[in-house]
Amino acid sequence: LPAAGALGLRLADVGFAYPDDGEPALSGITLTLAPGERLGLVGRTGSGKTTLAKLLLRLYDPTGGTVEIGGLDLREADPESLRRRVAVVTQDVRLFAGSVRDNLTLFGTLSESRSSTRSGAGHDDDRLRAVLDGVGLGGWLAALPGGLDGEPGELSAGEAQLLAFARAFLADPGLVILDEASSRLDPATERHVEDGVRRLLDGRTGVLIAHRLSSLAHVDKIAVLERGKLVEYGRRTDL
């Protein structure tokens, strides 16, 4: 994939069925996003939103049609570059047994310097602290025993989402898939999350799985899924 800049997205007649499931989870999905555009993806539980997100990360290949990111069929994309350039931000952030530092840099695979060792990581650490500060987790880090060397422990849905933002900022992706927290966040966290979304989407292409109608105010296009099919799709201003 292109190493920098926003990545366009094109789905052409995409279908997908889980191997152990008769009903297709997605069928006939066609949509495009120009680099820098945002799509709001809505639909009831089980309509296929998460499945669509999984195809964009190439956790699965479509059983029909093609998924293109940055002009490249995902089947031809380098997995390493896909992992760097397409970020997913959810409230179910995956935490690993390890330090905050390791969790942010995915054991060094996301930062250029690849240092997850404690020695000589000072410069990196400043960057990690700045990123955590930027997403509103500065106070959380300060209170955490061990700081960057500490284990993150239990996170609230809001904190998890903020940590996922921090991870995404470090990777500098060109396409961001955002699965909005569906649970209520406290007002301060909510403000940090809104701010994080705005900054993360700035200059990047975004797919926002929206659980609140108010979130759709900032998207360019809206896609409504029902039982794996697009029942509405178009520019927000036309719908």
CB of 146 to ligand ATP, least distance (A): 34
CB of 19 to ligand ATP, least distance (A): 8
How far from the centroid of its chain's Cα atoms is residue 137's Cα? 18
C-beta of 46 vs 139, nearer to ligand ATP:
46
Token pair 């990196």 in the structure block, residue: 124
C-beta of 88 vs 141, nearer to ligand ATP:
88
CB of 44 to ligand ATP, least distance (A): 7
How far apart CA 107 and CA 5 sit, in angstroms, is 24
Please list every residue from 110 through 139 that binds ligand ATP, using CB under 6 A.
none
User: Which residues lie across from 175 on neighbouring strands?
Assistant: 86, 205
C-beta of 6 vs 25, nearer to ligand ATP:
25
User: Which residues lie across from 178 on neighbouring strands?
Assistant: 89, 208
C-beta of 19 vs 145, nearer to ligand ATP:
19
CB of 135 to ligand ATP, least distance (A): 24
Q: Which stretch binds ligand ATP (CB under 6 A): 15-23, 30-38, 145-153, 154-162?
A: 15-23
CB of 51 to ligand ATP, least distance (A): 3
How far from the centroid of its chain's Cα atoms is residue 200's Cα? 10
C-beta of 21 vs 238, nearer to ligand ATP:
21
Please list every residue from 16 through 75 that binds ligand ATP, using CB under 6 A.
18, 20-21, 25, 43, 45-51
C-beta of 127 vs 229, nearer to ligand ATP:
229
In the shown chain, the binding pattern of residues 210 to 229 toward ligand ATP, with x for contact by CB under 6 A and - for none, equals --------------------
Helix H, strand E, coil C: the string for 108-136 is CCCCCCCCCCCCCCHHHHHHHHHHHHHCC
C-beta of 18 vs 96, nearer to ligand ATP:
18
CB of 43 to ligand ATP, least distance (A): 5
Per CB under 6 A, residues contacting ligand ATP are 18, 20-21, 25, 43, 45-51
